Amino acid sequence: MAEYLKRATHTAQSDHADVTPIVQALLDEIATGGEEAAIAMAKRFDKWDGDVIVTRAELDRAIALVPEQTKADIRFAHANILKFAQAQRETIVDTQIEILPGLVAGQRQIPVGAAGCYVPGGRYAHIASAMMTITTAKAAGVKHVTACSPPSEADGIPPAILFAMDLCGADVILNMGGVQAVAAMAKGLFGLPRADVLVGPGNHFVAEAKRILFGEVGIDMVAGPTDSLVLADETADPAIVAADLVGQAEHGPNSPVWLVTDCRTLAEDVIARIPALIAALPEINSASAEAAWRDYAEVVLCADRAEMAAISDEYAPEHLTVQCTDLDWWLTQLTTYGSLFLGEETTVAFGDKAAGPNHVLPTSGAARYTGGLSVGKFMKTVTWQRATRNAARPVAEATARISRIEGMEGHARTADIRLAKYFPDEVFELGA
DSSP letter for each residue of 270-300:
HHHHHHHHHHTS-HHHHHHHHHHHHHH-EEE
228: β partners = 257, 319
> Across residues 167-183, what is the average pLDDT?
97
Question: What is the CATH number assigned to the segment(s) 225-371?
Answer: 3.40.50.1980
Quick one: pLDDT at residue 292?
Answer: 95
Q: Give the contacts of 116 (CB within 8 A, at least 6 positions apart).
A: 145, 146, 147, 148, 182, 185, 186, 195, 197, 198, 199, 217
CA atoms within 13 A on the CB side of 364: 14
Give the chain's count of helices (H) and strands (E): 16, 14
> Across residues 395-400, what is the average pLDDT?
96
The one catalytic residue in 319, 344, 409, 426 is 319
pLDDT, mean over the chain: 94
- Does the annotation mark 318 as catalytic? yes
**Under 8 Å between Cβ of 335 and 315:** no
- What are the angstrom distances between the C-alpha of 208 and each of 145, 180, 204? 22, 12, 6
- pLDDT tier, 258 (very low <50, low <70, confident <90, very high otherwise): very high
CA distance 228 to 247: 10
Quick one: pLDDT at residue 124?
Answer: 66
Provide the H-helix boundaries in 149-263. 159-168, 178-187, 204-213, 238-249
Is the pLDDT at 313 greater than 90? The verdict is yes
CA distance 81 to 133: 10
- pLDDT tier, 10 (very low <50, low <70, confident <90, very high otherwise): confident
CA distance 48 to 324: 49
> Across residues 160-183, what is the average pLDDT?
97
SS3 232: strand
CA distance 3 to 238: 19
Residue 147 host element (H or E): strand 144-149
- pLDDT tier, 304 (very low <50, low <70, confident <90, very high otherwise): very high
CA proximity to 379, closest of 82, 165, 115? 115
- pLDDT tier, 1 (very low <50, low <70, confident <90, very high otherwise): confident
Render 86-103 in DSSP notation, one character per residue: HHHHHHS--EEEEEETTE
- Does the annotation mark 397 as catalytic? no
**Under 8 Å between Cβ of 374 and 380:** no
The DSSP symbol for 236 reads: S
- pLDDT tier, 15 (very low <50, low <70, confident <90, very high otherwise): low
Quick one: pLDDT at residue 152?
Answer: 83
Strands 144-149 and 114-118 turn out to be parallel
- pLDDT tier, 154 (very low <50, low <70, confident <90, very high otherwise): confident
Residue ranges, CATH 3.40.50.1980, the chain? 20-91+111-220, 225-371
- pLDDT tier, 284 (very low <50, low <70, confident <90, very high otherwise): confident
**Under 8 Å between Cβ of 137 and 115:** yes
Q: Which CATH superfamily is domain 20-91+111-220 in?
A: Nitrogenase molybdenum iron protein domain (3.40.50.1980)
CA distance 181 to 206: 9
Provide the H-helix boundaries in 42-155. 56-64, 68-91, 127-140
Is the pLDDT at 276 greater than 60? The verdict is yes
CA distance 204 to 184: 18
Longest dimension (CA), the chain: 89
CA proximity to 180, closest of 27, 354, 301? 27
The rounded percent of the chain whose pLDDT value lies above 90 is 89
The one catalytic residue in 318, 409, 411, 426 is 318
- pTM value is 0.93
**Under 8 Å between Cβ of 300 and 4:** yes
